[in-house]
Amino acid sequence: MDFASNITISALFQQALVGLSRTTILFIVASGLSLILGVLRIPNVAHGSLYMIGAFIMYSVNHFFGGGQAGFWMAVLLSPVAVALISLAVERGLFQYLYEREHLMLLLFTFSITLVFGDLVKMVWGSDYRCVDLPAAFQGFFTILGFPFPRYNLFLIIIGPVVAFGLWFLTNKTRIGKIARAAAVDREMVGAIGINVSLVFAAVFVIGCFLAGLGGALVAPTQNIRQGMDHAIIIEAFLIVIMGGLGNIWGALLGALIFGLTDSIGILVWPQFAIVFPYVVVVIALLFCPKGLLKSTW
């Protein structure tokens, strides 16, 4: 085994940047999951499916507009919106009737949605791999400190903090955010002062799913879009949320950062089992802080 023989400063630096762009995707998906988990107390397994659907819609919209600049931007904007609409339909049509049930039932219900969506995606898009070509502006490399770095990855690294700030603003500075946080702590109380809790939940659910769709749309140009990409991301998102602290946006960011970096650096150290590194970090983190690295905000 050529263990650790190919580690150079340059490779390390590049992998770190790749890890950072991966962080953005992980963060966007995990923060949506965390939001739903924090307010609705549901580990939404279907989150991964929505991410996958986001990626497939990105492909179709981009394809429809013939790719290029227009196709890319339309797709990035439209696919999260489409995913949000799907989730709205699911929430209003089915989910809202189940809030009083046990957590386990809700989890299984989201799993049933995963199963249905999985096959629906197969029916609509088939089981082939799909690829999205980047518009010219995003192709090629920047040179950073003498190292080549893909432009699109840099774009992703910038998007991450933007989304984080937007979410922070939404949950801390807007009325709906404040209501949602209050509802997370005490459902009945918020209901008692005349706020329609069910609608607040719907809003949170849709926003969370929107983020899943956005993550899927943004990841689409960087990898093959395929069946099963939903299964992998949801486990990673679970892990990030657990590590970061329930319902804490900055926790999700920190968790995603740790996950993304350990994963991408791990690829240098031990390519075959790079996946092991983030897990080890999570287990160590949990041994010291069983409730996650950052305090849950609600």
CB of 255 to another protein, least distance (A): 12
Q: Closer to another protein at the Cβ: 178 or 291?
A: 291
Q: Cα–Cα distances in Å, from 4 out to 19, 146, 147, 282?
A: 18, 23, 20, 22
CB of 7 to another protein, least distance (A): 20
Q: Cα–Cα distances in Å, from 138 out to 63, 131, 141, 148?
A: 17, 15, 8, 14
Q: Closer to another protein at the Cβ: 78 or 121?
A: 121
CB of 123 to another protein, least distance (A): 7
Q: Name every residue whose Cβ is closer than 8 Å to that of residue 112 and which is 6 or more positions away in sequence.
A: none
- Identify the H or E element spanning 5: none
Q: Closer to another protein at the Cβ: 23 or 114?
A: 114
Q: Closer to another protein at the Cβ: 114 or 171?
A: 114
CB of 115 to another protein, least distance (A): 3
Footprint of another protein on this chain (CB under 8 A)? 41, 43, 45, 94, 97-98, 101-105, 107-109, 111-116, 118-120, 122-123, 231, 235, 238-239, 241-242, 246, 272-273, 275-276, 279, 282-283, 286-287, 290
CB 106 within 8 A of CB 84: no
CB 216 within 8 A of CB 60: no
CB of 68 to another protein, least distance (A): 35
CB 26 within 8 A of CB 159: no
